[in-house]
Structure 1
Amino acid sequence: MNSKTKHTALIKAEAKRLGFLSCGISKAEFLEEEAPRLEKWLRNGMQGEMSYMENHFDKRLDPTKLVPDSKSVISLLLNYFPSETQDEASYKISKYAYGTDYHFVIKDKLKQLLAFISEEIGDVHGRAFVDSAPVLDKAWAAKSGLGWMGKHSNLLTKQVGSFYFIAELIVDLDLEYDRPVTDHCGACTACIDACPTEAIIAPYVVDGSKCISYFTIELKNEIPSNVRGQFDDWVFGCDVCQDVCPWNRFSKSHNEPLFNPNPELLSMTKKDWEEITDEVFQKLFKNSAVQRTKFSGLQRNINFLKD
Structure 2
Amino acid sequence: MSTPSPDLHDLARTIKQWGAELGFADLRIADVDLAHAEAGLQAWLDAGCHGEMDYMASHGMKRARPAELVPGTVRAIVARMDYLPQTRDQDWRAQERLRQQDPGAAVVSVYARGRDYHKVLRNRLQQLAEKVKGAVGELGYRVFTDSAPVMELPLAEKAGLGWRGKHTLLLSREAGSTFFIGEILVDLPLPVDPPTGAHCGQCAACIEVCPTQAILGPGRLDARRCISYLTIELKGSIPEDLRPLIGNRIYGCDDCQLVCPWNKFAQRAMLPDFDERNGLGEAGMMALFGWEEEEFNRRMEGSPIRRIGHERWLRNLAVGLGNAAEGRRGDPEIVAALRARASHPSEMVREHVEWALQRHASP
Per the normalisation by structure 2, the TM-score is 0.81
What does residue 62 of structure 2 align with?
59
State how far apart, in whole Å, the 1-side matches of 2:294 and 2:179 are: 30
Alignment of 1:37-52 (within 5 A): 37-52=40-55
Alignment of 1:198-277 (within 5 A): 198-277=213-292
Greater relative contact order structure (CA < 8 Å, 6+ sep): 1
What does residue 96 of structure 1 align with?
111
What does residue 155 of structure 1 align with?
170
Q: Does the 8 Å contact 1:7/1:121 carry over to 2?
A: no
State how far apart, in whole Å, the 2-side matches of 1:283 and 1:267 are: 19
Secondary structure in 2 matching 1:180 = coil
- The partner residue of 1:6 within 7, 10, 14 is 10
State how far apart, in whole Å, the 2-side matches of 1:245 and 1:268 are: 25
Count of aligned pairs: 305
Deviations 1:12-33 (A, max 9, x none): 111111110111111123x121
State how far apart, in whole Å, the 2-side matches of 1:150 and 1:203 are: 8
Secondary structure in 1 matching 2:28 = strand
- The partner residue of 2:195 within 180, 188, 198 is 180
What does residue 114 of structure 1 align with?
129
Q: Does the 8 Å contact 1:264/1:284 carry over to 2?
A: no
| Offset, 1:196 | 0.4
| Offset, 1:283 | 3.0
What does residue 197 of structure 1 align with?
212
- The partner residue of 1:15 within 15, 19, 33 is 19
Secondary structure in 2 matching 1:34 = helix
Q: Provide structure 1 residue ranges, at least 5 long, that are not aligned to the other structure.
A: none
What does residue 75 of structure 1 align with?
78
What does residue 305 of structure 1 align with?
320
What does residue 27 of structure 1 align with?
31
| Offset, 1:144 | 0.3
Q: Provide structure 2 residue ranges, at least 5 long, that are not aligned to the other structure.
A: 1-5, 89-95, 322-355, 357-363
Between stretches 55-64 and 106-115, larger displacement belongs to 55-64
Deviations 1:220-267 (A, max 9, x none): 111010112101311111111111100001112112111112253334
Deviations 1:157-191 (A, max 9, x none): 01110011110000010111111111100000110
Root mean square deviation, CA, Å: 1.4
Secondary structure in 2 matching 1:142 = helix
Runs of 4+ aligned structure 1 residues displaced above 6 Å come to none
Q: Does the 8 Å contact 2:107/2:281 carry over to 1?
A: no
Secondary structure in 2 matching 1:117 = helix
| Offset, 1:94 | 1.1
Q: Does the 8 Å contact 2:285/2:317 carry over to 1?
A: no
Secondary structure in 2 matching 1:264 = coil
| Offset, 1:83 | 2.8
State how far apart, in whole Å, the 1-side matches of 2:131 and 2:298 are: 35
Secondary structure in 1 matching 2:10 = helix
| Offset, 1:303 | 0.7
% of aligned pairs identical?
37
Per the normalisation by structure 1, the TM-score is 0.96
AA aligned to 2:57 is: E
State how far apart, in whole Å, the 1-side matches of 2:25 and 2:247 are: 31
State how far apart, in whole Å, the 2-side matches of 1:255 and 1:179 are: 26
Which entry has the higher C-alpha Rg, 1 or 2? Answer: 2
Q: Does the 8 Å contact 2:108/2:280 carry over to 1?
A: no
